[in-house]
Amino acid sequence: MFTGIVTDVGEITSLTPTAQGQLHRLRIACRYDRATIADGASIACNGVCLTVVASGVEGGKTWFDVDAAAETLGMTTAKHWGVGTRLNLERALKIGDELGGHIVAGHADGVATIVSREDLPDMARFVLRTTRELARFIAVKGSITLDGVSLTVNTVDDVTFSVLIIPHTLNVTTVGGWRAGSEVNIEVDLMARYAARLTEMK
């Protein structure tokens, strides 16, 4: 489990397709302490929970390897990742940690497309479009996770919604580089999903 509070921005330094391209082995450079990364640990990469299969230090910088499987490549932006891609990173939540965002599973539901970006004084407003299936879980003032970042929904209009990004988030995540036409990973609020399921069962 995660909270959607990004703790580092990593960069893919190598990508090796295996299993006829159905699996990508990624090496990601980061600022985490190598001693705190165990094989089998979960790290959210742009909102996608991936399992560490190796780690080390090279050139004074920590790296870790993860595998992105066919399902991840098929339904998230991971299919577009390459060497040099910057990723929002978050370590798995520990009991007793501060829950600064909201409960995030790291299981991306799909992608949302950025419709527009409006730069405001020290802030930015993004309008995004998603599928009708996912839009039903998005509500004004509700929580949404975009590329691993916990955000509050400002407005909703059918299958489009908007978020307002504060200066801190623009500075410490990859959000500052978002542009119209780009795709981002989306995870809807877990509570909204369960509420919808309960309604369906009545």
The residue with tokens 């499987």 is 69
The answer to whether 199 is a known catalytic residue is no
The answer to whether 107 is a known catalytic residue is yes
Task: Pick the closest to residue 22 from 65, 81, 78, 73 (CA basis).
Answer: 73
The answer to whether 2 is a known catalytic residue is yes
Please tell me which residue in 44, 49, 68, 112 is annotated as part of the active site: 49
The answer to whether 51 is a known catalytic residue is yes
Beta strands in the chain (DSSP E): 8-18, 23-30, 42-45, 48-58, 61-68, 86-91, 110-120, 123-129, 143-146, 149-157, 160-165, 183-188
Please tell me which residue in 18, 36, 51, 155 is annotated as part of the active site: 51
**HSE (CB half, 13 Å, CA atoms) of 63?**
16
Please tell me which residue in 18, 131, 152, 155 is annotated as part of the active site: 152
3-class secondary structure, 181: coil
Please tell me which residue in 54, 69, 180, 196 is annotated as part of the active site: 69
**92 exposure class (CB count in 10 Å sphere: 0-12, 13-18, 19+):** middle
Please tell me which residue in 107, 116, 139, 160 is annotated as part of the active site: 107
What is the DSSP pairing of strand 123-129 with strand 143-146? unpaired
CB 101 within 8 A of CB 152: no
The answer to whether 69 is a known catalytic residue is yes
The answer to whether 13 is a known catalytic residue is no
The answer to whether 30 is a known catalytic residue is no
Residues labelled as active-site residues: 2, 42, 49, 51, 69, 107, 152
